[in-house]
């Protein structure tokens, strides 16, 4: 949900799956209102078959916490919900509890724009179990989609090799809120602008747009349409050439460009939206250069993605900017990150010792990591990351010596000795209160650009990227094994 000034707190609180509320009622009725949990948000596989993901959505977490409450309308709606077996689903006492509810969680997260990798926590939430459950769905809704979009955009920007990329995806996005999320996350991931005017107003993202084919079709001739647009938008004149025939469109655009020069203006660019973009862009560049119009830029669109852009530039296409819409907004070909929210520790009340817990599964890759987790990222002497270690301070002995144990294979280790560790998670919320001010999107965008520049190209390549080392400190790996064996014995099964 877009957390704008117009968002009602009740809209945020009810932006959840029903089972979060039924579990919260169960904890309340079971006398566990003071019981606490620690949950972690992570994903299991890099999106798009790539070597990394770009963290995004974290900048709106504190806003989510501040806006989270149940007003009278929300309580009335919940009171009307019926149980499948008959009668109200929610008890009056629980609804009275929600009427005065305020989140008391503390939250740590990876800064927006930073790179993240499979199985390490992107967000850690600590607090009452009720609070942690109630925020789960809305939190995942923020982080999952925006991280996916930012990652897709970073790949597109990488393929564009320094040429500008604009988000054109609003009309194909998953509704108004999806369009806003796409614009925000794509800007963090490296896009230079968006066509989404509301996103420009809401987030301060540069907006960009010119005219559509309908503009040309509304006039008797293409030349008249071009002339009219040049008159009405002389400082933002980009002409779309492919309404009828690109070759004739080139000639008409040259005529208008010369007329603009005579009037003291300049044609900014042309756009091609169909056909063989490599061949047509070369023809366009040659014609404009021959006419002495080498300053006119060439922009292209039409179902672009990182692979198409990479191919166009490999063919020597003289393209200056790319408008990327459908495949960015829908994150084609992977529409979901698959981020999950898992319990890793519990305690009976605040101030008591944490008890690590583990979730086992019929599938080993779904086994979780126990404890109060944070992440140390190790950097070499040149400032480039070489590996991430998931740690729990209660497990630290000799374990910070530089050995990382692979999450899925205890026999595989990574050596980061000699590298400098830095804590990755930062605190955003402290006991329900904002712990720091939101940073500008420009800072997240710059962080993403810097992080990708320092990442080994072997992890950034599209085809068979090298796996970035992520694992556990040895003490945490041992704890995980002990808990797994204990739980298996308790269930009457053996590992």
* Residue-wise burial string across 371-402, b where 16 or more C-beta atoms lie within 10 A, e elsewhere: bbbbbbbbbeeeeebbbbbbbbeebeeebeeb
Q: 487 φ, ψ to 5°? A: -70, -35
DSSP structure class, residue 342: E
pLDDT for 488: 79
Give the span between the Cα atoms of 399 and 391, in whole angstroms. Answer: 9
What is the enclosing helix (H) or strand (E) of 33?
A: none
Q: 421 φ, ψ to 5°? A: -85, 145
pLDDT for 494: 38
For the chain, the structural domain boundaries read 1-31+69-102, 152-329
Q: Domain spanning 152-329: which CATH class is it, in words? A: alpha beta
Q: Which residues lie below 8 Å from residue 156, measured CB to CB, with a gap of 6+?
A: 165, 189, 190, 191, 304, 305, 306, 309, 322, 324, 328
Q: Is the dihedral of CA 131, 134, 135, 140 positive or negative?
A: positive
DSSP structure class, residue 84: T
69-81 per-position pLDDT tens digit: 999 999 999 999 9
Among 151, 125, 142, 137, which residue's Cα sits nearest to residue 374?
125
13-64 per-position pLDDT tens digit: 999 999 999 999 999 999 998 899 999 999 999 999 999 999 999 999 999 9
Give the span between the Cα atoms of 112 and 55, in whole angstroms. Answer: 5
Beta strands in 122-237 (DSSP E): 123-128, 164-167, 193-194
pTM of the predicted model as reported, rounded to 2 decimal places: 0.94
What tens-digit pLDDT sequence spans the chain (495 residues)? 444 444 454 478 999 999 999 999 999 999 998 899 999 999 999 999 999 999 999 999 999 999 999 999 999 999 999 999 999 999 999 999 999 999 999 999 999 999 999 999 999 999 999 999 999 999 999 999 999 999 999 999 999 999 999 999 999 999 999 999 999 999 999 999 999 999 999 999 999 998 999 999 999 999 999 999 999 999 999 999 999 999 999 999 999 999 999 999 999 999 999 999 999 999 999 999 999 999 999 999 999 999 999 999 999 999 999 999 999 999 999 999 999 999 999 999 999 999 999 998 766 778 899 999 999 999 999 999 999 999 998 886 655 678 999 988 889 999 999 999 999 999 999 999 999 999 999 999 999 999 999 999 999 999 999 999 999 999 999 999 999 888 877 654 333
* Residue-wise burial string across 94-117, b where 16 or more C-beta atoms lie within 10 A, e elsewhere: bbebbeebebbbbbbbbbbbbbbb
Q: What is the DSSP string of 36-59?
A: EEEEEEE-SS-GGG-S-EE--SGG
Q: No. of H helices and E strands in the chain?
A: 17, 21
Beta strands in 129-167 (DSSP E): 164-167
Q: 428 φ, ψ to 5°? A: -105, -35
Whether 402 contacts 358, CB under 8 Å: no
Whether 128 contacts 449, CB under 8 Å: no
pLDDT for 1: 43
What is the enclosing helix (H) or strand (E) of 395?
A: none
């Amino acid at each position: 949900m877009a957390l704008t000034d117009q968002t009602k707190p009740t809209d945020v609180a009810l932006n959840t799956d029903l089972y979060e509320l039924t579990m919260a009622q169960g904890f309340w009725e079971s006398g566990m209102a003071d019981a606490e949990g620690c949950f972690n948000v992570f994903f299991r596989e890099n999106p798009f078959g790539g070597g990394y993901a770009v963290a995004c959505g974290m900048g709106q977490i504190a806003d989510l916490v501040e806006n989270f409450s149940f007003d009278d309308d929300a309580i009335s709606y919940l009171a009307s919900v019926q149980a499948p077996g008959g009668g109200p689903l929610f008890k009056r006492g629980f609804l009275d509890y929600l009427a005065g509810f305020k989140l008391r969680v503390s939250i740590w997260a990876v800064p927006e724009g930073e790179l993240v990798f499979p199985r390490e926590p992107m967000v850690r939430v600590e607090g009452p179990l009720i609070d942690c459950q109630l925020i789960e769905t809305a939190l995942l809704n923020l982080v999952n989609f925006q991280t996916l979009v930012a990652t897709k955009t970073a790949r597109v920007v990488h393929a564009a090799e320094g040429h500008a990329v604009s988000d054109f995806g609003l009309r194909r996005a998953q509704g108004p809120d999806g369009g806003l999320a796409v614009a925000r996350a794509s800007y963090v991931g490296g896009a230079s602008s968006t066509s989404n005017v509301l996103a420009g107003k809401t987030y301060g993202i540069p907006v960009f747009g010119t005219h559509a084919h309908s503009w040309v079709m509304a006039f008797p001739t293409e030349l008249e349409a071009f002339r009219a647009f040049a008159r009405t938008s002389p400082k933002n004149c980009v002409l779309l050439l492919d309404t009828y025939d690109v070759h004739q469109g080139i000639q008409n655009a040259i005529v208008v460009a010369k007329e603009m020069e005579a009037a003291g203006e300049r044609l900014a660019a042309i756009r091609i939206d169909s056909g063989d973009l490599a061949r047509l862009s070369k023809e366009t560049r040659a014609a404009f250069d021959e006419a002495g119009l080498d300053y006119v830029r060439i922009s292209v669109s039409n179902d672009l993605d990182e692979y198409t852009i990479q191919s166009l530039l490999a063919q020597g296409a003289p393209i200056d900017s790319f408008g990327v819409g459908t495949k960015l907004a829908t994150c084609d070909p992977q529409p979901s990150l698959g981020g999950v929210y898992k319990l890793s520790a519990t305690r009976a009340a605040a101030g008591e010792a944490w008890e690590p817990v583990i979730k086992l599964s019929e599938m080993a890759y779904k086994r979780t990591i126990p404890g109060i987790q944070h992440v140390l990222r190790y950097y070499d002497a040149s400032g480039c990351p070489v590996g991430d270690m998931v740690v729990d301070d209660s497990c630290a002995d000799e374990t910070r010596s530089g050995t990382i144990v692979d999450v899925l294979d205890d026999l595989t280790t990574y050596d980061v000795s000699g590298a400098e560790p830095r804590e990755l998670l930062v605190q955003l919320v402290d006991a329900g209160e904002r712990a720091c001010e939101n940073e500008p999107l420009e800072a997240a965008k710059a962080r993403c650009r810097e992080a990708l520049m320092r990442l080994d190209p072997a992890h950034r390549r599209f085809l068979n990227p090298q796996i970035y080392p992520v694992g556990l400190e040895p003490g945490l790996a041992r704890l995980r094994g002990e808990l797994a064996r204990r739980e298996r014995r308790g269930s009457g099964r053996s590992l």
